[in-house]
Amino acid sequence: MNHSTAGRIMETINLETTRDEAFLREVEAESVAYTVCQHYGLDTSDYSFGYVAGWSSGRELAELKGSLETIRSTAAEIINSIDEHIAQIQKEQDKEQAAPAQEQPEQEAPQDKDTFSIFQIKGGDETRDLRFEPYDRLTATGHRVDPKNYALVYSAELTPGTSLEDIYTRFNIDHPKDFKGHSLSVSDVVVLHQNGQDTAHYVDSFGYKEVPEFFKEQEKALIPDDLETGETVKTPRGTFYVTAMSREQMEAAGYGLHHQSDDGKYLIMGNGTRAFAIFAEQPENYLKAAEQTTEQNYNMIDGQINNTPTVAELEAKVKAGETISLVDLAEAVKADKERGKAAKTEKKPSIRAQLRADKEKAQKKNAKQKSQDLERS
């Protein structure tokens, strides 16, 4: 296209040309086209170089210089014309972009569809005792409906009028083709999402049991290993580590009574895979092991976790330039009162006992003095 354009421009310069001059004009037009294309980053050298080289062979220097000037001026004219056209197009595009965008009609937010989801207990030995358990028996062994033990096996839209019983019937009699779980059974959980609210329902022996705890994150449960005393108890059924947990805590952790030691001092409690020994009668200081990990110093270990500093200790902190809160001060005052009450309840020796103790102390002192005097003499 550039070759043709350059040729038409150069034809207007001289319409009466000889054959050699026509060939010259063709070569000059090709050279102009090459120059323009190079200006805009288009490479036509494979074609243009051979075309130009064939003509320039054997030409005089003056003739070549004249052609070069013609090529330069014609190429400049074409480039200027193209640049003006590009500038006009760019100006029109900028004008279109600056125009305010046509307002789009507001789209309605997608409605929150009602859905139902089926969760079933994961496989493995850890959940073996949880599968197909009625709700009452599950909680009686210290367990809860924990979402960590479940896997989502199916979810679909909940059509209007569909009840939990309808879901139970469908997933026992007419499974959907894309359902990969087992027939809906005891211990499964059905979660209904209706009107933006979620409710969880445990499939029980008869009907369903709503289980809001399914959505609650379980707190870290205390385990027997946390309070092991380092002691062991041997019974005819084996040797068991002793833990300082109470029977209630063990039951909450999923342990049940297995048997009792022969001397009756220990209860052996197990969960089907592990067993520990606990005190049959909880000692007064059974929290001592836990207390040792929380108290600030061993002087405060007394069977009660009372880590609150005294008022005197707080005053010392203030004098040292530290800051304390009013809450800390109030707790310290309260703790000091409790410590004072505990001290008053301790049995004090009678006056007669104190006098007797003082007399005995004086007699021992006199005897010691006499012995020293005899040794000197």
Where does residue 228 rank: exposed (0-12), middle (13-18), buried (19+ CB within 10 A)? middle
| Residues 285/287/293/297 CA torsion (nearest 10 deg) | -30
Phi, psi of 84, rounded to the nearest 5 degrees: -65, -40
pLDDT for the residue 92: 83
Q: Where are the beta strands (DSSP E) in the chain?
A: 115-121, 150-157, 189-194, 197-203, 208-210, 228-235, 238-243, 256-260, 266-270, 275-279
CB 244 within 8 A of CB 290: yes
Name, in order, each residue with C-beta under 8 angstroms of 318's C-beta and a sequence gap of 6 or more: 324
Look up residue 365 and give its amino acid: K
The H or E element spanning position 68 is helix 61-98
pLDDT tens string, the chain, 377 residues long: the values are 455 555 555 554 454 555 566 666 777 777 777 777 777 777 666 555 555 555 555 555 555 556 667 777 887 888 888 888 888 888 888 777 776 545 555 555 456 789 999 999 999 888 999 999 999 999 888 888 999 999 999 999 999 999 999 999 999 998 898 998 999 999 999 999 999 899 999 999 999 999 999 987 655 667 898 889 999 999 999 999 999 999 988 888 889 999 999 999 999 999 988 999 999 986 544 444 444 444 444 444 444 445 677 878 878 877 777 777 666 777 777 777 777 655 555 455 666 677 677 777 777 666 666 555 555 55
pLDDT for the residue 191: 96
Q: Distance (Å, rounded) from C-alpha 352 to C-alpha 357? A: 9
Nearest residue to 39 (alpha-carbon basis) of 3, 4, 10, 76: 76
What is the DSSP annotation of 162-184?
A: --HHHHHHHHHHS--TT--SPSP
CB atoms within 10 A of CB 342: 12
Q: Distance (Å, rounded) from C-alpha 153 to C-alpha 180? A: 7
Q: Distance (Å, rounded) from C-alpha 199 to C-alpha 190? A: 8
Query: H helices then E strands: how many in the chain?
Result: 11, 10
For CA atoms 95, 98, 102, 108, the dihedral sign is: positive
In the beta sheet, which residues pair with residue 266? Answer: 279
Is-above-0.95 flag for pTM?
no
Where does residue 240 rank: exposed (0-12), middle (13-18), buried (19+ CB within 10 A)? buried
CB 11 within 8 A of CB 29: no
CB 222 within 8 A of CB 245: yes
For CA atoms 123, 125, 126, 128, the dihedral sign is: positive
User: In the numeric block, which tokens belong to residue 249?
Assistant: 């805590």
Nearest residue to 118 (alpha-carbon basis) of 177, 212, 196, 203: 203
pLDDT for the residue 189: 97
pLDDT for the residue 7: 53
Give the domain ranges of the chain: 2-88, 115-215, 220-307
Phi, psi of 241, rounded to the nearest 5 degrees: -75, 145
pLDDT for the residue 371: 57
